[in-house]
Amino acid sequence: MYTDRDTGLVHVHPINSSLPSTSPVALPYQQSCAAPSAVRIGPRRVRVAVRRGEQTVAIAEYRLPRRTGRAWSLKDQGWLTDDRFPQSMELAQHGDTTWALHHGEDGSISATTWSPQRFGPLWTMEGQRTSHTPALTSHIGQLWLAHRDATTGRLLAASSPDGHTWSPFSPITATAVHAAAPCLTSHAGHLYAAHLDAHPHETTSCPAALPQGQDSPRTA
């Protein structure tokens, strides 16, 4: 999923090594001025967050077609209007709840939940500052958040069972990383963080710090 540089239209490009390459599909009714985010919430159901302008973020739910390359069907859409959050949102599905995470102009990290046509209360994480969109994913019953610390430049991570009570943030890189948004993903029982190295043309995948007692993640 990506935003067209010239038109702002949000496109989806199917990737499947067993099928011939297909043309990208434009999402109905969506334009974005920042990178979009998407999360699977069920069979053939996806929620997408797009930055519609300086003050508006939209989260939409789509039903996917049964055949690759056909148009997605818009089912629900909600709007969050707030000029304090200048970049894109990061989405994660944790249990039955869709979480939306973003950072403010002052570097603060905030989150909300979304269900069809309605946003939940907005809350801000105390003591954390970043200059880039944080990463968010669900992993073995925990919601995980990672961000590049605005002061030290190191990659920090924390976990929560419910999105409200969080563990202390711990560094998962020994030194500062490049000033860019990180990514988190859960795969085969392991949690990975991807970020740009201090040299901006290198990408590094490193294990995220898991609580004591869980399986140690592997380095990709």
| pLDDT per residue as tens digits for the range 98-114 | 999 888 888 888 888 98
Domain limit, last residue, from 128, 145, 160: 128
Residues listed for the chain: 220
32/120 same-domain check = yes
Domains: count for the chain: 2
For residues 94 and 105, the answer to whether their CB atoms sit within 8 Å is: no
Q: What is the pLDDT of residue 184?
A: 92
* Encoded tokens for 122: 């907005």
Q: What is the pLDDT of residue 82?
A: 65
Look at residues 58, 73, 53 and name the one whose alpha carbon lies nearest to residue 12: 73
Q: What is the pLDDT of residue 212?
A: 40
Beta bridge partners of 138: 143
Q: What is the pLDDT of residue 138?
A: 95
- Whether this model's pTM surpasses 0.85: no
pLDDT tops 90 at residue 57: no
Q: What is the pLDDT of residue 216?
A: 35
99/148 same-domain check = no
45/149 same-domain check = no
For residues 113 and 125, the answer to whether their CB atoms sit within 8 Å is: no
| pLDDT per residue as tens digits for the range 137-190 | 999 999 999 999 989 989 999 999 998 889 999 998 888 888 888 899 999 999
Q: What is the pLDDT of residue 220?
A: 35
153/186 same-domain check = yes
Of 204 and 184, the one with more pLDDT:
184
Write the CA distances from 8 to 30, 113, 188, integer angstroms. 8, 25, 35
Q: Which domain holds residue 81?
A: 1-128
Top mean pLDDT of 55-64, 137-146, 163-172, 210-219 is at 137-146
Half-sphere exposure of 97 (CA within 13 A, CB side): 18
* Encoded tokens for 212: 């004591």
3-state secondary structure the chain: CEECCCCCEEEECCCCCCCCCCCCEEEEEEECCCCCEEEEEECCEEEEEEECCCCEEEEEEEECCCCCCCCCEEEEEEEEECCCCCCCCEEEEECCEEEEEEECCCCEEEEEEEECCEECCCEEEEEEECCCCCEEEEECCEEEEEEECCCCCCEEEEEECCCCCCCCCEECCCCCCCCCCCEEEEECCEEEEEEECCCCCCEEEEECCCCCCCCCCCCC
152/122 same-domain check = no
135/67 same-domain check = no
104/156 same-domain check = no
- pLDDT band for 84, please (50, 70, 90 cuts): low
For residues 101 and 145, the answer to whether their CB atoms sit within 8 Å is: yes
135/124 same-domain check = no
Beta bridge partners of 61: 47, 76
Domain limit, last residue, from 104, 128, 152: 128
| pLDDT per residue as tens digits for the range 69-83 | 788 898 888 887 765
Q: What is the pLDDT of residue 63?
A: 92
pLDDT tops 50 at residue 38: yes
